Amino acid sequence: MRRALISAACAVTTMTALAVPASAEPQPAQAKGQVSEYVVLYKEHVSLGQAHHAVQAAGGKVVHENRDVGVATVRSDNPEFIHAVMKQRALEGVAHNRIIGEAPKPAKAKAKVSKVEQMTGTGKTVSAKSASSQDGEPLADLQWDMKQIHATPDGSYKKEPGDKRVLVGILDTGVDGDHPDIKPNFNRKLSRNFTQDIPTDADGNELDGPCEFTSCVDPNDWDDRGHGTHVASTIASPRNGFGMAGVAPNVSIVNLRVGQDSGLFFLQPTVDGLTYAAKNGIDVVNMSYYIDPWLWNCENNPADSPENQLEQRTIIEATQRALDFAHDRGVTLVSAAGNDYVDYTKTNLDATSPDFPSVPGEAPYDRTVPASCVSMPSEGENVIPVSATGPSTRKSYYSSFGNGYVAVAAPGGDKVDNAASRPDDRGGVWAAYPERLAKERGELNPDGTPKVSYVIRSCKDGKCAYYSSLQGTSMASPHAAGVAALIVSRYGHPDRRNGGLTLNPDVVERALLGTATPKECPSPRTFVYEWYTSSGAKRTSTQTCEGSKEQNGFFGNGIVDALNAVRY
């Protein structure tokens, strides 16, 4: 998932290796006169006037506001702003956002990259000439993922390829709307960017890097990371004789950018993206990420400071308000389950949070997190969490799981799911990749051909496009979102409010889960994954599957099936 889940994957820790967490270090006080940014949650049913007065009384100024769910971005130079907020009866919660105006330091922080989803090639070049197809899509033979869920010319494409009136929102790092295998289905008019590039973090380390456009706001058809473009392509690349097709090749893609260039996803953009989707007729949204800076949000974990506990409660409540707002207005919510190798229904160790320094000197610390702690949005109410499968249909080694957590499984890739248990890009999911990024990252030869094995090129009528092989629950979730879009296309009815088609999200979910192909837990249920890294090091992970064939922790209700769904 993330966080490239962006899906981001966190370190693997087995239950037997859980350590007693170190106590959270006291956070440095905000310097007098220094401006910081916060996300403030209004209490429900208070008037805007009361909320605004309370923010002002606490020493803050509203710079952005989402009135649909009562969430505002606020700036303040009051070093006691958090405590002042909690004295206001009209305000419910507050979370750090970032320090404003810090001078950059020489050291550069690495952008958050999922160890699972980052592209690592073997140095071999794969050309489009080596991939032929019988159905007019030159790279279709690489798409084991579409075959696994019967999204093929003889499968769901024949029965229901999707309807242009169905809108799928890509809550991610952006979408390359000019990619030849995305542009035909890209709805530029409805697409929005809810983020602003942040050059440096609170310690002055590089975060998103230099701003490329005025006001540090990228256009609504731009992707500086490639993650959102890959997700969009999996859902809805058209059948146009170019490259490859998505699960629902005739539906429309709407870019709802909520992720930073760095791969971080913050609270306010997520809330804004969800409420926008609800008010503009978006039928399905895909969320292949978790909201930073906490992998799991705990309401009262003793390892956390009171301020951090409050921040996590705010993230839970504000996100759930936005999810409810979207669900109640016809949006089906699909999310990646996570790349953490762990059972979300058990106690785990979180050593990665907080992963973004919103105050100077803040760093991740070890803490034990019980199952009551939640990762958002995947553990939000009315959300459909999706685990990942590999080419053999086994649960992918990295995919998080949990009986009662995972709703369904879908192809997410598993590059070590082969006889040798060694990295092979053919086991990843192939989808569209921005040419600009391939050039910037030095992945192309001077003549434009790829020089790494995880990038491939397809050309038609003198025009070329690029595709990359990735793995992660970030790649699994869009397969399920694509099937959900097919369900709306097949069974939806006219949307009198927004135009297009609509279908109750509860009906969509029942159809998605009810038509999935049940898959049993492995035997024995405690499964030991063994694989080798690109450097030859051996890795293992022991994971236990609980539940029945009809519903279990690895596969939920089963592997989604596009053909079954459209003949439901």
Looking at the chain, the whole-number percentage of residues with pLDDT higher than 90 is 84
Cis amide bond preceding 106, omega within 30: no
Q: Which domains does the chain have, with CATH numbers?
A: 36-99 (3.30.70.80), 108-566 (3.40.50.200)
Identify the residue whose tokens are 């491939």. Answer: 456
Q: How far apart are CA 355 and CA 367, in angstroms?
A: 13
Residue 117: what pLDDT?
57
Residue 17: what pLDDT?
24
Looking at the chain, the whole-number percentage of residues with pLDDT higher than 70 is 88
**530 Cβ partners below 8 Å, 6+ apart?**
421, 538, 539, 540
**Is residue 564 within a helix (H) or strand (E), and if so which, with residue range?**
helix 562-566
Q: Which two tokens stand for residue 566?
A: 């459209």
Grouping H, G, I as helix, E, B as strand and the rest as coil, residue 489 is: helix
280-294, 355-369, 394-408, 514-528: range with lowest mean pLDDT = 355-369
Residue 345 CB coordination number (10 Å): 15
At residue 10 the predicted structure's pLDDT band, cuts being 50, 70 and 90, is very low
Four-residue CA torsion sign, 177, 469, 263, 8 = positive
In the chain, the N- to C-terminal Cα span, in Å, equals 29
- Strand ranges inside 280-421, DSSP E: 284-287, 332-336, 348-350, 367-369, 383-389, 408-411
The letter for the amino acid at 243 is G
Query: What pTM does this model have?
Result: 0.92
Residue 303 CB coordination number (10 Å): 18
**458 Cβ partners below 8 Å, 6+ apart?**
128, 138, 139, 181, 242, 243, 244, 464, 465, 466, 467
Q: What is the mean pLDDT of the chain?
A: 90
The per-residue pLDDT for range 183-222, each reduced to its tens digit, is 999 999 999 999 999 998 888 889 999 999 988 999 999 9
Residue 535 CB coordination number (10 Å): 6
Identify the residue whose tokens are 């024995």. Answer: 524
212 touches 218 (CB < 8 A) = yes
288 touches 72 (CB < 8 A) = no
Q: Does residue 386 carry a pLDDT above 50?
A: yes
**143 Cβ partners below 8 Å, 6+ apart?**
244, 245, 430
At residue 32 the predicted structure's pLDDT band, cuts being 50, 70 and 90, is low
The per-residue pLDDT for range 273-290, each reduced to its tens digit, is 999 999 999 999 999 999
Residue 357: what pLDDT?
87
The per-residue pLDDT for range 418-450, each reduced to its tens digit, is 999 999 999 999 999 999 999 999 999 999 999
Q: What average pLDDT does the segment 1-22 reach? A: 31
At residue 473 the predicted structure's pLDDT band, cuts being 50, 70 and 90, is very high
Grouping H, G, I as helix, E, B as strand and the rest as coil, residue 313 is: helix
Cis amide bond preceding 354, omega within 30: yes
At residue 489 the predicted structure's pLDDT band, cuts being 50, 70 and 90, is very high
The per-residue pLDDT for range 109-144, each reduced to its tens digit, is 344 545 555 544 433 333 344 444 455 799 999 999
257 touches 192 (CB < 8 A) = yes
